[in-house]
Structure 1
Amino acid sequence: MLFGLLGNTLTILVVWLRPHMRSSTYLYLSSMAVSDLLILLLLPLDLYKLWRPRPWPLGDLACKLTMFLSECCTFCTILHITFLSLERYVAVCWPITAKTVVTRRRTRVIIGCLWLGAAVSASPVLIMVGVEDVGGEDHGFCRCTHYAISSGLLSAMMILSNLYFLVPLCILGLVYTLIGRTLWLRPKSSRRDQSHRSTVKMLGVIVLAFVLCWLPFHVGRTILSLSLGSSVERQDASMNYFNLASSVLFYLSAAVNPLLYNLMSARYRLAVHSLIHKHPHTHTHRLKSAHEIRNKYVFFSSI
C-alpha cells in the first residue's frame, strides 16, 4: 500500500508539474494513477473486514460507498488501459490522422467520459450491497444483500464485470497485434518509430501485468457469486485461500504500474529525478529542450 501510494502520487505530480510530460499517453497514465490511489486507500477497510468480518462499524452508507468506489475504480482502470492502447494504435498506424485526432483537449474529454461511464456502470452496487444481520444475530455484515441474490441483480453485475474484463482483453490483443505488425514492417532506423516502440513496450508490459493480476480476481469473484446460494461454511472452506491470493494480486496491480513506468521509460525516470532533485529547473529545461528538438526532427522527417 505504501509503495503504491508513493509511486502513484509521484506519477500524478510528474505529469501535472512538468508541462512537457502532459502528452496524451501520460494524461491517461496520471488519471489511471488516481484510480489506483483510490483502490489502495480502500485496502485498510478490506483488511479490517478480513480481520473482523462483523460487526461493520461504519454504517450502511459507508458500506455502499466503499464498495461502489472499489467497483468504479476497477472499471475505470480497465477503460483507461483500453483507450490508452487505442490511442497508441492510432498514433502508430495512422500517424497523420493522429496529429488532428489525438489532442490534449480531446484526451481530457475522453478521460472525463471514462470516469462517468465507470461510475454509471458501478452504480448498481449501491443497491446490491448493505449492512445485513445474518442468522438473526445483531451483528451486521457489509456484504451483498439477499435482495441482490434473489432478484438476479448480482448475476447481471457479474456478467457486466466479466464483460468489462473479456471485451477489453480481446481489443488489447487485436490492437497490439496490429501495432506489432505495423512496426515490424517499417524501417527500424526511423526515430519516430523507435519512440513508438519504447512506448508500446512499456504499455505491453502494463497490459501483461494487468492480465496476470486481474484474471484470478475475476475468476474468484465469479465463483464466489455462483456459490452464494450454498452454505457460508462450504464457501469459506473452498475459496478462502484463492480469494486471499487474488486480492493480493489485485492490489499489487494498483501498486506496480509506477515501477513499470520507471523501468521501461527513460523519459519518466528523468522527469521523476527532476521532480525530487534540489535543482529541478535545470533538468526541466534540459528535458523540455530535448523534447522540442525531437519533435522538430519528427516533423521535418515526416515532411
Structure 2
Amino acid sequence: MLFGLLGNILTILVVWLRPHMRSSTYLYLSSMAVSDLLILLLLPLDLYKLWRPRPWPLGDLACKLTMFLSECCTFCTILHITFLSLERYVAVCWPITAKTVVTRRRTRVIIGCLWLGAAVSASPVLIMVGVEDVGGEEFGLNQECRCTHYAISSGLLSAMMILSNLYFLVPLCILGLVYTLIGRTLWLRPKSSRRDQSHRSTVKMLGVIVLAFVLCWLPFHVGRTILSLSLDSFTTYFNLVSSVLFYLSAAVNPLLYNLMSARYRLAVHSLIHKRSHTHPHRLRTLTARHSTTTL
C-alpha cells in the first residue's frame, strides 16, 4: 500500500508539474494513477473486514460508498487501459489522422467521460450492498457490510457479475486485437525512423502494463465469480490470493513506468532533485553574493 501510494502520487506530480509530460499518453496514465490511488486507500477497510467482518462500525452510507468507489475505480482503470491502447493504435497506424484527432483537450474530455461511464456502471452497487444483520441473539453485534438478500433474490448480483466479467473480457479482446495490429504495423515499417522508435518504446511499456493487468486481474474476476456461486474454503483462499494480486496491480504500475520509460525516469529524477536541491542552491547563491559584496 505504501509503495503504491508513493508511486502513484509521484506519477500524478510528474505529469502535472512537468509541462513536457502532459502528452495524451501520460494524461491517461496520471488519471489511472488517481484511480489506483483510490483503490489503495480502500485497502485498510478491506483488511478490517477480513479481520473483523462484524459488527461493521461505519454505518450503511460508508458501506455503500466504499463498495461503490472500489467498483467504480476498477471499471475506470480498465477503461483507461483500453482507451490508452486505442489512442496508441491511432498514433502508430494512422499518424496523419492522429495529429488532428488525438489532442490534449480531447483527451481530457475522454478521461472525464471514462470516469462518468465507470460511475454509472458501478451505480447498481449502491442498491446491492448495505449493512444487514446476519443473525444472532444480540441485535447490532452481527451487522455486516455485504450484498443484501434483495440483491441475491432479485438477480441483481448475477447481473452485476456478468457486467463485471464483460468489463474484463471485452477490453481484453480489444487489447489483443489492437496490439496485434500495432505490432504488425511497426514490424513492416523501417526501424530507422525516430518517431517509430519512440512509438516502439511507448508500445513496449504499455504492452508490459497490459500484461501485468491481465495477470493480476484475471484471478480476481475468476475468484469473484466462483465466490458468488459457492462459499467453500478453497474459494475463500483463492479470493485472498486474487485480492493480493488485485491490489498489487494498483501498486506496480509506477514501477513499470520507471523500468520501461526513460522519459518518465528523467522526469521523476528532475522532480525529486529539484525539490531536494532548492534550499542548498539558494544558500550557495546568498553566500556568493555576500562574498562578492565583502570583496
- Work out whether the TM-score is over 0.5: yes
The CA deviation at 1:239 is 1.5
Maintained 8 Å contact 1:274/1:283: no
Maintained 8 Å contact 2:227/2:236: no
In structure 2, relative to structure 1, the CA distance for the partners of 1:85 and 1:130 (3 Å cut) is same
Maintained 8 Å contact 1:134/1:140: no
Q: Distance in 1 between matches of 2:115 and 2:48?
A: 28
Maintained 8 Å contact 1:220/1:243: yes
1:139 match: 139
Q: Distance in 2 between matches of 1:302 and 1:59?
A: 68
Map 1:37-52 to 2 at 5 A: 37-52=37-52
Q: Distance in 2 between matches of 1:119 and 1:302?
A: 65
SS at match of 2:191: coil
* Identity, % of aligned positions: 94
In structure 2, relative to structure 1, the CA distance for the partners of 1:26 and 1:138 (3 Å cut) is farther
2:165 match: 162
In structure 2, relative to structure 1, the CA distance for the partners of 1:58 and 1:180 (3 Å cut) is same
SS at match of 1:136: coil
Maintained 8 Å contact 2:14/2:268: yes
In structure 2, relative to structure 1, the CA distance for the partners of 1:280 and 1:268 (3 Å cut) is farther
Maintained 8 Å contact 2:60/2:130: yes
Larger Rg belongs to: 2
In structure 2, relative to structure 1, the CA distance for the partners of 1:181 and 1:138 (3 Å cut) is farther
Q: RMSD of aligned C-alpha atoms? A: 6.4
Maintained 8 Å contact 2:63/2:131: yes
Q: Deviations over 1:84-131 (max 9, x none)?
A: 000000000000000000000000000000000000000000000001
SS at match of 2:131: strand
Q: Distance in 2 between matches of 1:284 and 1:192?
A: 39
In structure 2, relative to structure 1, the CA distance for the partners of 1:50 and 1:4 (3 Å cut) is same
SS at match of 2:268: helix
In structure 2, relative to structure 1, the CA distance for the partners of 1:159 and 1:138 (3 Å cut) is farther
The CA deviation at 1:282 is 11
Q: Distance in 2 between matches of 1:287 and 1:93?
A: 52
Is 1:267 paired with 2:270? no
Q: Distance in 1 between matches of 2:282 and 2:72?
A: 39
SS at match of 1:140: coil
Maintained 8 Å contact 1:55/1:139: no
SS at match of 1:132: strand
TM-score w.r.t. length of structure 2: 0.91
In structure 2, relative to structure 1, the CA distance for the partners of 1:162 and 1:13 (3 Å cut) is same
TM-score w.r.t. length of structure 1: 0.89
In structure 2, relative to structure 1, the CA distance for the partners of 1:186 and 1:140 (3 Å cut) is farther
Q: Distance in 1 between matches of 2:40 and 2:174?
A: 27
* Count of aligned pairs between the two proteins: 285
In structure 2, relative to structure 1, the CA distance for the partners of 1:182 and 1:135 (3 Å cut) is same
In structure 2, relative to structure 1, the CA distance for the partners of 1:140 and 1:189 (3 Å cut) is farther
Q: Distance in 2 between matches of 1:210 and 1:186?
A: 28
Q: Deviations over 1:28-51 (max 9, x none)?
A: 000000000000000000000011
Q: Distance in 1 between matches of 2:32 and 2:198?
A: 22
Unaligned runs of 5+ in 1: 229-235, 290-300
Maintained 8 Å contact 1:128/1:153: yes
Q: Deviations over 1:31-83 (max 9, x none)?
A: 00000000000000000001111100000000000000000000000000000
The CA deviation at 1:140 is 5.9
The CA deviation at 1:237 is 1.7
Q: Distance in 2 between matches of 1:286 and 1:150?
A: 67
Q: Distance in 1 between matches of 2:192 and 2:16?
A: 32
Q: Distance in 1 between matches of 2:83 and 2:283?
A: 27
In structure 2, relative to structure 1, the CA distance for the partners of 1:88 and 1:280 (3 Å cut) is farther
